[in-house]
């Protein structure tokens, strides 16, 4: 049994969402309310020294669903007291930059859930989608699991996959992730409200999706076109930078933000190690 989870459950669960992504917050809130549960608060971390993250935080503050109280801890140590104030039955985490401490995980009566975009135990860690793309996986996975003291190792409640195709973009991948969450959340919550402790994770096939190394920031046009395409898309899901890798193009260094593997009118054709790739969009460094 996961610590802090009781044997009896109310049909309507009070839930605190933990996330930095405005779209994810709205999607989870809508799904949970449609399932008859009660999202009561949003816990988010303010990151003023990262401009993109600061803008995202401002959108969370001003654009969150109006019925959600906003909890903003100044440090990890303040998470538990703020969660206590919201009196949650459950917390659900999706895309949060901090490792949640044990005292905060112990606050919700029925446990803390995490929505992790990989087929655990593969790609544990902070940037699983980026590693799914980098390693050329055939499927995009999503797992909902109980959180424990370690990172992405808690008992599994629900898992599913969606196939990955040649023409994937940031928008198609986000759409597939949203579809998987919508599929999995009712199954996971049904197990939670039944007092189900989940299925322990094994270590077979486990891997860690850590932050990319400096060398992966540069595009090498002599590599296969598929690897370059995956590299460009993977960087869009790499926490921190999130724009794209650097490449030499027409005599200058640019950030490559979108490529295609088939001809694209108006795109720049580049010969890679095994054939062409089309650079659709770039940004200044």
Q: What is the pLDDT of residues 197-222, one digit of tens each?
A: 999 999 999 999 999 999 999 999 99
For residue 188, pLDDT beyond 80:
yes
* Residue 125: pLDDT band with limits 50, 70, 90: very high
Q: In the chain, helix, strand, coil percent, each to 5?
A: 30, 25, 45
pLDDT band for position 182 (cuts 50, 70, 90): very high
The beta-strand segments (E) located in the chain are 14-18, 38-43, 69-71, 90-93, 112-116, 139-146, 156-163, 246-249, 252-260, 268-271, 276-284
pTM of the model: 0.91
* Range 16-33 average pLDDT: 96
What domains lie within the chain, and their CATH numbers?
Answer: 14-193 (3.40.50.170), 214-284 (3.10.25.10)
Looking at residues 15-38, what average pLDDT do you find?
A: 96
Average pLDDT (133-138) is 96
Average pLDDT of span 252-256? 96
- Give the pLDDT mean for 127-139: 97
Considering the chain, what is the average pLDDT of its residues?
92
| Residue whose pair of structure tokens reads 């994937």 in the numeric block | 168
The average pLDDT across 40-57 equals: 80
Q: Name 145's Cβ contacts closer than 8 Å, sequence gap at least 6.
A: 113, 114, 116, 120, 152, 154, 155, 156, 157, 198, 201
């Amino acid at each position: 049994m996961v610590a802090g989870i009781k044997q009896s459950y109310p049909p309507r669960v009070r839930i605190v969402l933990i996330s930095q992504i405005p779209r994810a917050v709205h999607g989870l809130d809508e799904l949970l309310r449609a399932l008859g549960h009660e999202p009561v608060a949003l816990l988010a971390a303010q990151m003023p020294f990262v401009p993109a993250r600061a803008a995202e935080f401002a959108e969370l503050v001003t654009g969150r669903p109006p019925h959600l109280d906003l909890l903003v801890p100044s440090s990890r140590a303040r998470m538990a007291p703020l969660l206590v104030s919201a009196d949650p039955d459950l917390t659900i985490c999706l895309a949060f930059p901090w490792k949640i401490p044990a005292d905060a995980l112990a606050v919700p009566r029925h446990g803390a859930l995490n929505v992790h975009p990989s087929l655990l135990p593969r790609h544990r860690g902070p940037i699983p989608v980026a590693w799914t793309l980098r390693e050329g996986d055939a499927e995009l996975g999503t797992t909902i699991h109980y959180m424990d003291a370690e990172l992405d190792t808690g008992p599994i409640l629900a898992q599913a996959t969606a196939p990955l195709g040649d023409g994937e973009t940031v928008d198609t991948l986000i759409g597939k992730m949203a579809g998987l969450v919508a599929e999995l959340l009712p199954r996971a919550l049904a197990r939670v409200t039944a007092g189900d402790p989940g299925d322990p994770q094994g270590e077979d096939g486990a891997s860690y999706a850590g932050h990319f190394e400096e060398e992966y920031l540069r595009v090498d046009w002599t590599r296969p076109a598929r690897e370059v395409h995956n590299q460009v898309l993977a960087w869009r899901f790499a926490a921190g930078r999130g724009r794209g890798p650097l490449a030499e193009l027409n005599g200058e260094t640019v950030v490559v933000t979108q490529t295609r593997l088939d001809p694209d009118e108006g795109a720049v054709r580049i010969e890679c190690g095994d054939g062409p790739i089309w650079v659709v969009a770039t940004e200044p460094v």
